[in-house]
Amino acid sequence: MGNVCAADLDRVSNFDQLVELLRDKLEWPIHGDYDFEDVVFEYEASELGLKKDEVAKIREIHQLRPLVTSQPWGVFFISLEDKALPVTVLRRILKALILNRRGQAQTPDRQAWHLHDLIFAASFGKSGARELAFIHFSDGKATGDLPVMKVLG
């Protein structure tokens, strides 16, 4: 498996560049001549239970399709309008995608994951100065807190 350095991450500001990084540097099994629709599921922000003002902060949400059968984790690319990461919006998206206390999806017709099995790649910032951050949430229940958001980038 290839190595990824900070400069590699700095060059990623959109979904196509993220796919190239995953394929070329990390050797994920994504064909070089992929069609966008072949490698993602598209989500509408309104489908995820976001408020109207929160929906306005999101340009697009895509899930990278599973690379293997029964893949337990999900990778989402979220393009945001904001200059900074909107923590509340990211938490609401997380809530819509994780299994509830009974181990069920929030919406029966949509896949859901365990909290620790999701990674978000979020693009944000002003035009011409877009940044990419990788976001992972871990359980905060031991301390009685909300899930802990960890950001790389």
**Can you give the residue ranges of every domain in the chain?**
38-152
pLDDT tens for each residue of the chain, 153 residues long: 678 888 888 788 778 888 888 888 888 888 777 777 788 889 888 888 888 888 888 999 999 988 888 888 999 999 998 778 888 899 999 999 998 776 666 666 678 899 999 999 998 888 878 888 899 998 877 667 888 889 987
pTM: 0.84
Whether residue 80 contacts residue 58, with contact meaning beta carbons closer than 8 Å, is answered with yes
Of 133, 103, 129, 132, residue with least CA distance to 115: 103
d(CA 78, CA 65): 14
The helices-and-strands tally (H runs, E runs) of the chain is 5, 6
